[in-house]
Amino acid sequence: MSVAFDHRDPGTLEQTWADAAPWRSAPPLRLDADAVVVLAAHPDDETLGAGGLVARCHAVGIPVTVVVVTDGGASHPLLGDERDLARERRREAVDAIADLAPSAALVFLGFDDGRVDEQRADITRRVAAVLSEFPDRAVLVAAPWWGDGHRDHRVLGEIALELGAPMVEVVGYPIWLWHWATPDAVDASGWRVLHLTDAERTAKTGAIARHRTQVEPLSPLPGGEAIVHDGMRAHFLRDEEVYIGAPLTEETSADIAAFDDFFRRHDDPWGFESRWYEARKRAVLRASLPRASFVTALELGCANGVLTAELAGRCDDLLAVDASEPAVRAAAERTRDLENVRVEQFLLPGAWPHGRFDLVVVSELAYYLGADDRDLLARRIRASLTDDGVVVACHWRRRIGDAATTGDRVHHELSRSLGLHRTARHEEADFVLEVFATAPGSVAEREGLA
């Protein structure tokens, strides 16, 4: 997005924004990530746009890494040696981050100011390397907003979007938007807001002042004006920070017709009966059940019923469901002699069985569902549990070509959406298994051994 503006102009008054408060109805920025990475095109972007977020991470113990991409030396091109200014701006950033979050990691990539687009490939590789330091962890990336109107901000925001992944959520923080836009012309539908505490706001105010080369005139000569004049600075002294979510992508649930065809073509889909990996994984799942027996159980995504038959011995009544008609027929045939097992077809999670269950097993299913369906799945599981209910989730951790997301992302979401106590977690390179319960406590504690 290209916008013509002059930083020396008064711009939209902060009072105009405060009166309209288009962020008033925005949902809060969720801070449920394992780590946060803040990208800045120039030293001071991170403080202006995300200083409160950096301070919040420090306060609540979330590891935060601030990555400053360029040296910022081109902010005053008429005043002389850019190298001197770049060195001073680096010192300012160090002091500002120390005010906000002494525990933060601060990384300077040192690229040329004003040439982010020309250096896009190298910057992408360097930022990707930073993100690779958080394998299998949920990461929130806050970058300059890709619609901010400043070229370097736009390109770095686009780089962040390109690096988004199932475990990497990207949000953009606007800076120059507050200068050139007006409240009646913005689309706030994708906005999220971080409400700052008094301590966070105070720390941010002090950190902004550290960037003296940007908030004060460097010279009385033309070109020495403050980049962030007092009117512009006022936008960043609010009690809130605004973040803009990544543009929505089409993340839809897998087509059930493909599964129907797969089950028709394979007598042993995914090697359930022939692979030791599958047999061992089922054994781990059964061993993870926190009780010897359950009254009424629900298995979601039963496939051809191999696990169903093994669960039957631990349940008084077991309902196994799948969306695929060939899978349901195969599972029903496999369990036809088990009087405590019912197999039914449900297109989950839109269709859902009646009743309440003290055990729900969801295995190798949820990563095939789009984001909305995963959210609905979690809510329906929770609503179907008895007061002493247990959920066992087990999913493949590696990439699946036709899946909507990864097993790791599924379990990250479930752990927060279910609102239950996680009583067990088993993680290997290939799969992750977790047990969630309505009540805390281990098996030994319930049996009086601990």
Give the mean pLDDT of 296-321. Answer: 98
**pLDDT on residue 1:** 56
Environment class of 145 (CB within 10 Å of its CB; exposed 0-12, middle 13-18, buried 19+):
buried
- 83: pLDDT confidence band, cut at 50, 70 and 90? confident
Residue type, 427: E
**Do residues 110 and 117 make contact, with C-beta atoms less than 8 angstroms apart?**
no
DSSP structure string for 317-357: EEEEEES-HHHHHHHHHHTTT-TTEEEEE--TTTS---S-E
Contacts 24+ apart (CB under 8 A), 274-280: 277/430, 278/306
Angle between helices 371-384 and 407-417 (to 10 degrees): 50
**Do residues 300 and 361 make contact, with C-beta atoms less than 8 angstroms apart?**
yes
Whole-number average pLDDT of the chain: 92
**pLDDT on residue 269:** 87
**Do residues 391 and 418 make contact, with C-beta atoms less than 8 angstroms apart?**
yes
Please name which of 323, 314, 331 lies closest in space to residue 269, comparing C-alpha atoms.
Answer: 331
Quick one: DSSP state of residue 398? S
Residue type, 101: A
> What residue spans define the domains of the chain?
14-245, 256-446
Distances (CA, A) of 88 to 74, 214, 372: 12, 11, 47
Look at residue 80 and tell me whether its pLDDT is greater than 90: no
Give the mean pLDDT of 329-341. Answer: 98
pTM of the full structure: 0.64
Look at residue 2 and tell me whether its pLDDT is greater than 70: no
- 254: pLDDT confidence band, cut at 50, 70 and 90? confident
**pLDDT on residue 78:** 58
**pLDDT on residue 66:** 98
**pLDDT on residue 389:** 98
Buried/exposed code over 396-418 (b: 16+ C-beta within 10 A; e: otherwise): bbeebeebbbbbbbbbbbbbebb
Conformational region of residue 204, where left means phi above 0, alpha means psi within -120 to 50, and beta covers everything else: alpha
Same fold, 14-245 and 256-446: yes
The CATH number of 14-245 is which of 3.90.850.10, 1.10.10.10, 3.30.420.40, 3.40.50.10320?
Answer: 3.40.50.10320
**pLDDT on residue 225:** 85
- Structure tokens given for 109: 């990539």
Give the mean pLDDT of 207-234. Answer: 88
Whether CATH 3.40.50.620 fits 256-446: no
Instruction: State the residue for tokens 């962890």.
Output: 137
**pLDDT on residue 74:** 65
**Do residues 397 and 407 make contact, with C-beta atoms less than 8 angstroms apart?**
yes
The span from the CA of 342 to the CA of 331, in Å, is 9
The span from the CA of 148 to the CA of 142, in Å, is 14
Look at residue 9 and tell me whether its pLDDT is greater than 80: yes
Distances (CA, A) of 443 to 114, 255, 291, 446: 60, 39, 8, 5
* Tens of pLDDT, residues 107-118: 999 898 878 889
**pLDDT on residue 8:** 81
